[in-house]
Amino acid sequence: MPTVSDQTIEEIRSRTDIVQVIGERVPLKRAGSAWKACCPFHHEKTPSFHVNPQRQRYHCFGCGEDGDVFKFLVQHDGMTFPDALRYLADKCGVEIVEEDDGGHAARARRLFQVNAEAAAFFHRCLLQTAAAAPARAYLEKRSLGPDVVELFELGYDPEPWGTLDKFAEAHGFTKREMVEAGLGLLPDGAQSASLLRDRFHGRLMFPVKDHQGRVVAFSGRVLDKAASPAKYVNSPETDIFKKSRVLYALDKAQRPIASSLHREAIVCEGQIDVIRCHACGFPRAVASEGTAFTDEHAKLLHRYADSAVLLFDADAAGRKAAVRTAAILLAEGIPVRIARMPDGEDPDSFLLSHSKEDFQAILDAAVGPVPFHVAHLRAQEADPDGADAAGRIVKEVLQTVAACANAVHKARMVQELAQEMNLPEDAIRAELSGIEEALRRQREGAAFRRETATPPPPPPLSPPPPPDLPPPEIFEDPEPPSAAGPVPGASAPGEPPPPPPDPTDVALCEFLLKHGEEHPATVRALAALLPPMLFPNAMVRALVEAFYAEAAGTGGDALERLQADDPKAAAFLGVLSARRDPTAEHPPRDFVHQILLDAWRRWVAARLAASASEKGLDALRKRQDLRRATLDLKSWRLGCARVHELAGVPLPAPGEDEFPDLPALDGEAPPERPPVPFIRHHPPADEPPAPPVAPAVEPAGHRPAGFDDDDLPPDDL
């Protein structure tokens, strides 16, 4: 979420009707100039929750909850503040201007548009076309009526090839956007003019929405089993869809969860189970989308739920999945109960053949993860009361108990396990302490391996060199030096040739050549912030030193002498002088900022790679500092302070400008200080420059870009 000004936040607050927003979630009644209701944050019979439209605030005289419309959405709906800001901005028509992020926000908005139009198109096809008769017949067979179809916006993707191309043309979308959204594929080697291969053609469509209600993906069910071996096909992951961050129907379930008695969510295995729960009066149901339940799912659910009941299939796979999911939720600090479904039943089939009260009885009878897990393990033992079986069961269950983040819940589960196994609590606790110690060592070992692994170098921020750079041969070593002495920048006999200049080196030399004389203050600032040691190419170092010396007034004709002594340097500067000035398209200040960020990112990456073999706690801390620096050096707002820290140069005082002869950027924000103390890694004068980092190499067995697990049928439906 980009930084939003206080003025924009205040405008959104002033243009929002807090009575309308809260009234959509809580039944309000007028009480004089204010409105009142029973408090949604605690249970009461007499209304003590008041909303004041003049002050645009709410207050509960029973529990003391108080705040504005933003806090209400965070507390009641479980939104984050950025989500609440976007939600209210959309409602009141205030545009949040986002900073430049490389076009990601614009691409995301476009993908949301593609998916929204596609969902509406599929829905119309299901309701209106004769070709969708098999889909309507399937829904009728599954007792999914028109109200369910409308609530979940179910649809149908027509069979004929070319439909997707016509849809894209009619709505102004490109083939590239259809592919990026995961709706279509271009055959291997096909040109953009070729027809798209529809990923979902002939399938019943289930739109998948994020927690804000935006369509991010689709799941398509095959209607003709002979047409495809994959029962379900899901959208691949895209810029707006990550399977581990989406819970199906959370957009509909978040308010019922947040307003329920214990803020308890119902977690199911599949989409049809969730749809059936919502249709039968249990709107707190959600499910993971196309993958097993993950830590990220648990974190997302924890925004809205304080507890959860798991409602998985009654077979062995369902019980195993329930235990695994319970451990993940416990690790997030969410207490869990597991409902026991009758054999051969799932929520969908049970609700079709039983009453709502029978289903509620199953939810009420749900047990904790320990009794459920013990019963599941005992059923697998030939002699469950034997000593060896008891040891295996206790050890297995304690793996789940050890993952629990809440000390009270963990103590309660230890008591339950002792009762279930008829063993002393002290014995259970002793066994648990050993398992916790083993898990702690595993985590520390995994963290140490991650820290000591050599990360891939960050991609360069500058564009690749243009084709009119000097040919590579001018950077090769010349013939052996004559009696007149070595050529500047040449390698000694037997040494590897120096690396050629990369785009950052070229950009700096070009700026110094074309703008050094008119911006001497900037060159002096660059001399302090970009020591020549940062440049691995010897010729570039010599050129930079000459430019710096001339700007400082101490070099005389150093640049002229260098060109006379080094033909390569002269040829290099000749090509640069003939190139189009890059500052004609980019502001000079922005150009200088980018050079500083790129050069220091390269140096930090080289130090990080060089420290990979170092051991010990100090080495780990050093690598952590370097990784934080790499993140800061992605933008000038944070990177400015980091550049000064690395170079050993204090930040300019407030109101001062170290580049006074460069025009300021519109809306330029002041730099931020580093959030944590940083270990300075500025190279001393006698330290050779860090070696260049080799490009990352794809590991063996890397999956091709077109392969996705979603092309296989998921297990959840």
Count of the separate structural domains present in the chain: 4
Mean pLDDT (the chain) is 80
Strand partners for 206: 219
What is the residue whose two structure tokens read 């995994």?
A: 446
CATH number at residue 371: 3.40.1360.10
Structure tokens at 188: 């291997």
Q: pLDDT confidence of 280, banded at 50, 70, 90?
A: very high
> Kind of pairing, strands 215-222 and 232-234?
antiparallel
Q: Are residues 565 and 642 in the same domain?
A: yes
CA 241 vs. chain centroid, Å, equals 10
**Which residue do the tokens 């599949």 mark?**
270
Looking at per-residue pLDDT, the higher value among 265 and 438 belongs to 265
Residue 509 and residue 287: Cα distance in Å, rounded?
56
Q: Compute how many other C-beta atoms are within 10 angstroms of the C-beta atom of residue 452.
A: 15
- 703 vs 199 pLDDT, higher one: 199
The whole-number pLDDT of residue 470 equals 43
Task: Identify the pLDDT of residue 471.
Answer: 40
Output the CA angle 615-619-622, nearest 5 degrees: 165
- Residue 330 covered by a domain: yes
Which has the higher per-residue pLDDT, 496 or 174?
174
Q: What is the pLDDT of residues 287-324, one digit of tens each?
A: 988 778 999 999 999 888 889 999 998 888 888 899 99
CA distance 136 to 140: 6
Predicted pLDDT of residue 398: 92
Write down the pLDDT at residue 97.
Answer: 64
Q: What is the mean pLDDT of residues 106-124?
A: 92
Q: What is the pLDDT of residue 386?
A: 85
- 605 and 669 fall within a common domain: yes
Confidence check: pLDDT of 355 > 80: yes
Do 473 and 444 share a structural domain? no
User: What CA–CA distance (Å, rounded) separates 549 from 544?
Assistant: 9
Task: Say if CB 312 and CB 293 are below 8 A apart.
Answer: no
The pLDDT of residue 666 is above 60: no
User: What CATH number did the domain enclosing 15 receive?
Assistant: 3.90.580.10
Q: Is 257 a member of any domain?
A: no
How far is Cα 546 from Cα 489, in angstroms, rounded to an integer?
A: 13
User: What pLDDT is stored for residue 309 in this prediction?
Assistant: 96
Q: Say which residue the tokens 């870009």 belong to.
A: 705
Residue 684 lies in a domain: yes
pLDDT of residue 478: 36
Nearest C-alpha neighbor of 635 from the set 107, 96, 102: 102
Token couple for 203: 């399938």
Same structural domain, 359 and 277: yes
Chain segment 64-90, per-residue pLDDT in tens = 888 898 888 888 877 778 888 888 888
Of 71-75, 102-106, 427-431, 644-648, the least confident? 102-106
How confident is the model over 325-337, as a mean pLDDT? Answer: 93
Same-domain pairing of 279 and 413: yes
Angle between helical axes of 567-578 and 503-515 (0-180°, round to 10): 80
Q: What are phi and psi of 425, to 5 degrees?
A: -65, -35
In a domain, 631, yes or no: yes
DSSP 382-439: SSTTSHHHHHHHHHHHHHHHHT---HHHHHHHHHHHHHHHT--HHHHHHHHHHHHHHH
Percent of the chain with pLDDT over 70: 80
pLDDT digits (tens, 9 = 90+) for 600-643: 888 888 888 888 888 877 778 888 888 888 888 888 887 888 88
- Among residues 34, 61, 92, the one where a domain terminates is 92
Residues 618 and 563 in one domain: yes
Q: What confidence tens digit (pLDDT) does each residue in 139-151 have?
A: 999 999 999 999 9
Residue 464: predicted pLDDT: 41
Q: What is the pLDDT of residue 682?
A: 45
Confidence label for 194 from pLDDT (cuts 50, 70 and 90):
low
Which of 169-183, 547-561, 636-650 reaches the highest mean pLDDT? Answer: 169-183
Mean pLDDT of the region 579-607: 81
Tell me what pLDDT residue 466 has.
Answer: 40
Q: At a CB cut-off of 8 Å and minimum separation 6, what does 619 contact? A: 611
| Distance from C-alpha of 415 to C-alpha of 413, rounded to nearest angstrom | 5
Question: Bridge partners of 185?
Answer: 197
- Quick one: 108 and 146 in the same domain? yes
In a domain, 586, yes or no: yes
Claim to verify: residue 438 and residue 471 sit in the same structural domain:
no
Joined together, the tokens standing for residue 62 give 């029973």
We report the CATH number of the domain holding residue 191 as 3.90.980.10
Residue ranges making up the domain that contains 357: 265-450
**248 within a domain of the structure (yes/no):** no
Residues 278 and 199 in one domain: no
Which whole number is the average pLDDT over 693-702? Answer: 38
Q: Are residues 343 and 293 in the same domain?
A: yes
Residue 490 in domain: no
- Kindly give the pairing relationship between strand 66-67 and strand 57-60: antiparallel
Contact 346, 314 (CB under 8 A): yes
Q: Which residue has the higher pLDDT, 616 or 352?
A: 352
Query: Does 714 map to a domain?
Result: no
pLDDT at 688: 45
- DSSP letters, 170-190, are HHT--HHHHHHTTSEEPPTT-
Instruction: Classify residue 658 by burial, with Cβ atoms within 10 Å: 0-12, 13-18, 19+.
Output: middle
**Residue 576 shares a structural domain with residue 660:** yes
Based on the fold, state whether residues 529 and 422 are members of the same structural domain.
no
Most confident stretch, 71-80, 208-217, 656-665, 681-690: 208-217
SS (H, E, C) 243-261: HHHCEECHHHHHHHHHHCC
What does the pLDDT read at residue 99?
A: 52
